[in-house]
Chains A and B, each alone.
Chain A
Amino acid sequence: MLITYSSLSRIGVTAAITAASLFGMSAHATDITGAGSSFVYPVLSKWSAAYAEKTGNKLNYQSVGSGAGVAQIKEGTIDFGATDAPLKAEDLQKFGLGQFPVVVGGIVPVVNIAGVDAGKIKLDGATLADIFLGKINNWNDPKIAALNAGLSLPAGKITVVHRSDGSGTSFNFTNYLSKVSPEWAEKVKFGTAVEWPTGVGGKGNEGVSQYVKQIKGSIGYVEYAYAVKNKITWVDLKNAAGQFVSPNADAFAAAAATADWASAKDFNLIMTNAPGAKAWPITATTWVVMYKKPKNAEHTKVTFEFFKWALENGQKDAAALDYVALPDALTQKIEAYWAKEYAH
C-alpha cells in the first residue's frame, strides 16, 4: 500500500510539473479562438499562420458554418464569430456585440454549355433569376439570345445546380436575385437555404462545381476561387450601372468600394448589386462579430491586433487565395468603428 501511495504522489508531482511547464510556455503567446463561416476559413488560416510566425500568437478557427459561429459568440465561448450574413442591429444590441467586414470575395454563375468559353456568355440579373426560377429553361430562349448577340447558343435544357447545404454563398446569391427580381423576392426570398424552385443540389462548392462539370447545359454558382481552380466557364453579368463585367479581383474591389457603407450602421449592408460602374454584382463579405465589452481583455486585445494586422498587411495573402482585401477607405472606417464602439 505504502509503495502505491508514494508512486501515486510521484505521478501527481510529475503531472503538476508538466502542467506548470506547459502553462509557463503558453504564457508568452495568447491563443485566440474563433468560429463560423467556412467562406473565410482559407484566408483566415493563411493569415493566422503568417501572424503566428510574426508574433507567436495563434488563432484557432473552427469552420463550423456562420449559424454555429453566431450561436457560439452569443454564448461567449469564443473570442470572435465570423458570419456571412450580417447580424441585425437589435441582435447586436441585445448581446452587446459589434461587427465589421474583413475580406471580400466574389460569387460567380458558372455554366457548362458545349462550345461556350469563360466570359463569352452574358446574362443580366432578371434573366439569371428567371433561369433559377425555372421560367427560362432552354439555352436558346430569346431573352438569353437578346443579351448575347453574335453567340450561337445550342438548344438544350437548362439544368439548375444549387447548394444543398446552408451556406453564405447561397445567402449572397439569393440576396442578389431578390434585389433584381421582384418575383424571386416575393416567392423564394433569400437566406442560407431556400426552397429552390428547380434543379439539383450539390454539397459545398465542390459538389456544385462537380455537378456543373458533369451535367451538360447546367448553370450553378460557386465562389470565384472554385471557378478558377476547376476551370469552369463563368458568366459575365450586367451590374446595377448597366455595364457587363467579368468576375475578377478589381471588380470585387470596386463593389466593396462603391457599396454604401456610410449609411450602414454596424456595417449592416449586403453589398450585392453594388452601384459602381465596374462593380461585380454578386460580391460578398464576411463579418467578424465580437463583444463590445471584452469578456477576456487579454484575448480581445490580441484579437484586435490580429485583425488590424490582417486588414493592413493581409492583402497579398488574400489575393493569393482569390479573395480581395478591403479597400483602404473601408479599412479606415472599420478602425474608426473600433475606436468608437469598442472599449479597449
Chain B
Amino acid sequence: MQADQGANALAIAQEQRALKDANHDLLFSWLLKACALLVLACLLGAAGATLWGGRHAFGAFGWHFLGSDAWDPGNDIYGALVPVYGTIATSLIALLIAVPVSFGIALYLSEVAPPWLRTPVASAIELLAGIPSIIYGMWGLFVFAPFFADHIKPWLTDHLGNPPPVQVPWGDGVIPFTPWAVEHVSVIGPVAHLLHKLTWAFGQLFTSDSPFGASILTAGIVLAVMIIPFISSVMREVFQTVPTRLKESAYALGSSTWEVSWDIVLPYTRSAVVGGVFLGLGRALGETMAVTFVLGNAMSLSPSLLDPGASIASTIANQFSEAAGLQKSSLMALAFLLFVVTFFVLLIARLMLRRLALKEGR
C-alpha cells in the first residue's frame, strides 16, 4: 500500500515536472521567437520609415530619381545616381583589396606563423576592429590622403592613366586615341580597335587632373583597412576549425602549404568565409564618417576612380542637419535606396554561394 502510494506520488511528481518543462520550453521558444521578430520588426520599420520619409522625392521624380546625376538644392532637383555609384564603387574596391589581404593574414596566422606569434597578432587585429570609424576618417584626411596625392596618385596617372587624347576620325565618329594608337593606326584592325577601346576605358579609371588625395579610390582603400580586421578575424576563426587529420593527410600526400590552403582549408570553410566577407561588405556599404572625410564629397559623376565622389551614407551625414522639404525627403529616399542596394548585393552573393554549392555537388 505504502509502496503503491510512493510510486503514485513519484508519477505525479514526474508528470508535474514534465508539464513544467513543457511550459518552460514553450516560454523559451516564445522568447526566441520574440528576439527574431524584433530584428525583423526593426528592419521593416526602418525600411518603411525611410520609404515613407522619401515619398515626396519618389513622387516628384519617380524612376528618374534613380537615373539622374543631379543633386541641386538651389533648384530643388535631386537624383541618386552619384551617391549610389559612389557607395557601390568604394565598397567593391574595399572588397577587392580586403579579401585577398585578409585571406593572407588568416592563412598566415592559422597555418604558417609560429604558435607564439599567433595570439598577439590575432589580438592586435581584433583591437583594430574596435577602432571608431572617425579615427580612420581623421587618419585618412590628415595622413593617408596627402600621402596618396603625393606618391600613389601620380604613379597611377602616369602608368595606368590615359595621356591627353588625340581626336581621330574613326568609322562614323570621332574617338579619343592615345598617341601610341595614332602612331600605329595603320596597322590596327577591328580587333585591335576594340582592344584599344577597352584599354582606353580602363585608362579612364586612372586619369585625373585634380591634384588632391580625396577620391573614390582613397575611400575604397581606407574602407579596406577598416574591414580587413572583420574579415580576417572571421577567416582565422574558421580556418582553425579545419580538422588536423584532413590537413595532415594532404601534407602526407605531398601537398604544399598553398595546395592545402586552397584545396582543403578553403573549401572546408567556404560558407563561413563568405559570411565573413559579407560582414565586411555590410560595414563598407554603410560606413559614414571615414568615407565622408576622404571621398571628396563632390556630387558629380566621373569615370575616374581618382576623382572625388559621394556615397549614400556620406551625403546623408553631410546634408541632413540643414535639409528641409524636398531635400530632406530625397535624403530619406537615399536611405531607403541604401537598404535596396544592400539587399541586392546580399541577394547576389547568396545566389553565387548557391551556384558554388551546386557545382560542388556535381
Contact = CB atoms under 8 A, between A and B. Distances in A.
Interface stretch (A93-101, A197-205, A280-288): A197-205
Contact of B73 (A165, A187, A195): A195
A219 to B, nearest CB: 12
B107 to A, nearest CB: 37
B321 A165 contact: yes
Interface residues of B, number: 34
Nearest to A217: B211
A115 B113 CA distance: 53
Nearest to A65: B321
Interface stretch (B122-130, B142-150, B220-228): B142-150
Contacts of B320: 166
Interface stretch (B20-28, B50-58, B180-188, B295-303): B295-303
Given A193-B323, A194-B72, A195-B71, A203 B318 contact: yes
A189 B74 contact: yes
B214 interface: yes
A211 interface: yes
Given A214-B149, A214-B212, A166 B308 contact: no
A195 B70 contact: yes
A214 B293 contact: no
B255 interface: no
Interface string B310-336: 000010011111111001000000000
Contact of B211 (A159, A190, A201): A159
Contact of B142 (A66, A165, A190, A210): A210
B280 interface: no
A200 B210 contact: yes
A134 to B, nearest CB: 11
Given A189-B74, A202-B297, A203-B297, A166 B321 contact: yes
Nearest to B75: A189
A61 to B, nearest CB: 15
B149 A195 contact: no
B209 A201 contact: no
A251 B292 CA distance: 34
Contacts, number: 98
Contact of A211 (B70, B214, B317, B324): B214
B213 interface: yes
A209 B311 CA distance: 22
A322 B21 CA distance: 72
B287 to A, nearest CB: 14
Contacts of A106: none
Contacts of A191: 73-74
Nearest to B150: A214
A200 B73 contact: no
B325 to A, nearest CB: 10
A64 interface: yes
B75 A64 contact: no
A195 B299 contact: yes
A200 B71 contact: no
A57 interface: no
Given A164-B292, A203-B292, A216 B298 contact: no
Contacts of A189: 74-75
Interface string B30-56: 000000000000000000000000000
A40 to B, nearest CB: 14
Given A188-B74, A189-B74, A194-B74, A167 B322 contact: yes
B234 interface: no
Nearest to B320: A166
Contacts of A167: 322
Contacts of B293: 203, 207
B95 interface: no
Given A189-B75, A211-B212, A201 B146 contact: no
Contacts of A215: 149, 211-212
A71 B296 CA distance: 29
Nearest to B137: A203
A143 interface: no
A199 to B, nearest CB: 7
Interface string A63-76: 01111101100000
Interface string A141-165: 0000000000000000101000011
Given A164-B314, A166-B318, A201-B308, 5 more contacts: A68-B321, A164-B318, A166-B319, A166-B321, A193-B73
Interface of A: 64-68, 70-71, 157, 159, 164-167, 187-196, 199-203, 207, 210-211, 214-218
Interface of B: 70-75, 141-142, 145-146, 149, 209-214, 292-293, 296-299, 308, 314, 317-324, 327
The 10 A-B pairs of least Cβ separation, nearest first, read: A166-B322, A201-B297, A189-B74, A164-B297, A65-B321, A195-B72, A192-B322, A67-B322, A165-B318, A200-B296
13 contacts: A65-B321, A65-B322, A70-B324, A159-B212, A165-B318, A166-B323, A194-B72, A194-B73, A195-B74, A196-B298, A200-B212, A201-B297, A211-B214
